Amino acid sequence: MAEAEGPKGRVLIVAGSDSGGGAGIQADIKAVTMLGGYAMTAVTAITVQDTRGVHGVWPVPLEAVLGQMRVTLADIGADAIKTGMLGSAQLVEAVAECLAESALMVPRVIDPVMVATSGDRLVDAKAVEAIRSELVPRARLVTPNAPEAEVLTGKAVETVDGQRRAAEQLLELGAHGALVKGGHLGGNKVTDVLQTTTGEWIFESERIATTSTHGTGCTLASAIAALLAQGESVPDAVEQGRDYLLGAIRNAKGFGHGAGPVHHGWVLDEE
């Protein structure tokens, strides 16, 4: 019998590992799984990390990263790709080339991870430029927070209008969609601006008073990727992904002594 056509929820995640379990590959796998997807991974770096900061980073050899990508794509396939921490320009360029060769038509969610929640810098300037030139073009969705959007576009992102301008610039760079998040901006409400080649959507929610925000960017991007991999549209995937993340923040268990992790499994508690 021929294999059924259509999205199957398979997500290949290309990102770093977080020993504390709140961000990176660990958060990605949890989010994809909780939203009904199937997570595969290509680990790009091993970080020594907890809720208080990043204490060390060991890059995975380039051939090992590419090997993980190639075998999973060749054997299992993917309905979405999510990229996270890519610490060097050489790695960004190699990942982009591998995707062009092995997953050209698979939608990509590019989370331009540059700074950890703790404030630790995770990529260098050359890697930022490579993300801008090699991964933003052709991305189904780019998901920068306000500081990352400023770095990628050179535009100030301090208001909703700034978020709009940054999103427009990312589309001009070749992205099909840009979600410029407003969690780093002040105010009692958090506003995220989504622009695609077909329109604009504004998502607004009350700011949650909590210190458990470690891994929120990774979690949202992977949640969106899982939903896209199951056939949702970009606006619907963003809306549902935000709802999932808000629940994970509200139900955080307060682990650690710094910026604690969200509770990825909160949906199981409500069953």
The CA-CA-CA angle for residues 28, 29, 34, to 5°, reads 100
For residue 116, pLDDT beyond 70: no
Instruction: Specify whether 218 is catalytic.
Output: yes
For residue 8, pLDDT beyond 70: yes
Average of per-residue pLDDT across 68-85: 97
Residue 262 belongs to some domain of the structure: no
pLDDT computed for residue 118 by the predictor: 57
Instruction: Specify whether 98 is catalytic.
Output: no
Binned at pLDDT 50, 70 and 90, residue 194 comes out as very high
Catalytic residue selected from 9, 21, 72, 218: 218
Here the CATH number for the domain that contains residue 203 is 3.40.1190.20
Residue 260 belongs to some domain of the structure: no
Catalytic residue selected from 181, 182, 183, 247: 181
Distance (Å, whole) CA 252 – CA 261: 7
Name the percent of the chain lying above pLDDT 70. 95
| Angstrom distances, CA of residue 220 to CA of 28, 91, 126, 181 | 9, 23, 26, 10
The CA-CA-CA angle for residues 14, 243, 261, to 5°, reads 55
How do residues 170-179 score in pLDDT, each as one tens digit? 999 999 999 9
- In this structure, of 117-131, 143-157, 212-226, the range with the lowest mean pLDDT score is 117-131
Catalytic residue selected from 22, 37, 217, 260: 217
Binned at pLDDT 50, 70 and 90, residue 187 comes out as confident
Q: Nearest Cα to 116, choosing from 51, 65, 170? A: 51
DSSP codes joined into one string, 163-232 = HHHHHHHHHHTT-SEEEEB-TTS-SSEEEEEEEETTEEEEEEEEPP--S--BTHHHHHHHHHHHHHTTT-
Q: State which residues form the domain around 169.
A: 10-253
pLDDT computed for residue 271 by the predictor: 66
Instruction: Specify whether 181 is catalytic.
Output: yes
Average of per-residue pLDDT across 89-113: 96
Instruction: Specify whether 215 is catalytic.
Output: yes
Q: 158 versus 270: which is more confidently predicted?
A: 158
Average of per-residue pLDDT across 70-97: 97
Residue 125 belongs to some domain of the structure: yes
Residue 265 belongs to some domain of the structure: no
Tokens representing residue 242 in the block: 């935000």
CB neighbourhood size of 138 (10 A)? 17
Residue 2 belongs to some domain of the structure: no
SS3 76: coil
How do residues 211-230 score in pLDDT, each as one tens digit? 999 999 999 999 999 999 99
Unique residue bearing structure tokens 């050489």: 90
Distance (Å, whole) CA 62 – CA 108: 20
The DSSP secondary-structure symbol of 262 reads P
Instruction: Specify whether 256 is catalytic.
Output: no
pLDDT computed for residue 101 by the predictor: 96
**How does strand 189-196 pair with strand 177-180?**
antiparallel
Binned at pLDDT 50, 70 and 90, residue 117 comes out as low
Average of per-residue pLDDT across 162-188: 95
Binned at pLDDT 50, 70 and 90, residue 155 comes out as confident
Average of per-residue pLDDT across 174-199: 95
Instruction: Specify whether 117 is catalytic.
Output: no
For the chain, the domain total comes to 1
Residue 220 belongs to some domain of the structure: yes
Catalytic residue selected from 216, 219, 241, 247: 216
Cross-strand bridge partners of residue 59 = 45
Average of per-residue pLDDT across 197-221: 96
The CA-CA-CA angle for residues 157, 158, 159, to 5°, reads 100
Residue 153 belongs to some domain of the structure: yes
Residue 5 belongs to some domain of the structure: no
Tokens representing residue 171 in the block: 């589309």
pLDDT computed for residue 6 by the predictor: 77
Average of per-residue pLDDT across 3-15: 85
Binned at pLDDT 50, 70 and 90, residue 1 comes out as very low
pLDDT computed for residue 3 by the predictor: 47
Mean pLDDT of the chain: 94
